[in-house]
Amino acid sequence: MWRLIRRRQEPEPRAAGEAAAQAAVTVAPAQPDLQAAAFFDVDNTMMRGASIYHFARGLATRGLFTSSDLLKFAVGQAVFRLRGNENPEHIAVARETALAFVAGAKVDDVVRLGEEIYDEVMADRIWGGTRALAQDHLDAGQRVWLVTATPVELARVIAQRLGLTGALGTVAESSDGVYTGRLVGDLLHGPAKAEAVRALARREGLDLTRCTAYSDSANDLPMLSLVGHAVAINPDAELREHARKHAWPIKDFRTGRKATLAALPIAAGVGAVAGGVAAGIALRKLYRTQR
């Protein structure tokens, strides 16, 4: 009797599997749209706050520098944000300081720490509404790129975690897998973002009139004005006014406390390099402890 029952039960999993397979609905993948793409700023557009600042926070939790160091950078970012002042000389000084600190760090270490810290700190700060917009482009067969002043290694980590095509970011020179302390080009900020998008379009055969760009900041007007479709996400006052004047769509995913938090870190370029200084300090401390 037991053997009879056993034989009757054996086909059930197979039958269930076959039935499920037959009932499955297959969704055909989107046809690639090779001439259209979407470009997303990161800080306060795709992610709440500054990505490099969150990276620095992750380093702080590892004891690589103090919370007071982090506070100084946060206050500095807030001051620049309130003043609306991104003086080129200030940016240049902060950039050179950051590069001096990061010189000698290993690229692989930055990537590894970036992956760990994204999962621990950054993933929960992704704006769901912006992520959904990116997914709409992917579903339409379009490629989606992040465009940010954040170091390209960290930008790539974010893009990979979000399932996007890739990232354009600030490129720090390296030799034999170690940062030299120099940039390749300059900080990817303001007009440089537009130039990067234009260069990528030439390389990839994109029709910029069919492309879309998203940002929160008037600093990205050169990039937003370059494409056929511009969208203001969580915009600052200047960008909101410009978007209204030019009938660009405006989407604001900030509510209550989130809007307050989003406003703290950053004046875009300065926030990136200030966070980079913090990260550089932490990495130098890491290497000293390893010697």
**Which residues are designated catalytic?**
41, 43
Please return the burial class of 144, using the count of CB atoms within 10 Å of its CB with bins 0-12, 13-18 and 19+: buried
Residue 151, classed as helix, strand or coil, is strand
User: How far is Cα 221 from Cα 209, in angstroms, rounded to an integer?
Assistant: 16
Q: Which residues pair with 64 in a beta bridge?
A: none
- Intra-chain end-to-end CA distance of the chain, in Å: 72
168 phi/psi in degrees, rounded to 5: -110, 125
Q: β-strands 172-175, 178-183: how paired?
A: antiparallel
82 phi/psi in degrees, rounded to 5: -70, -35
Token output for 89: 């000389």
Residue 80, classed as helix, strand or coil, is helix
Residue 86, classed as helix, strand or coil, is coil
User: How far is Cα 137 from Cα 152, in angstroms, rounded to an integer?
Assistant: 22
User: How far is Cα 47 from Cα 212, in angstroms, rounded to an integer?
Assistant: 18
- Tell me the Cα Rg of the chain: 23
Residue 227, classed as helix, strand or coil, is coil
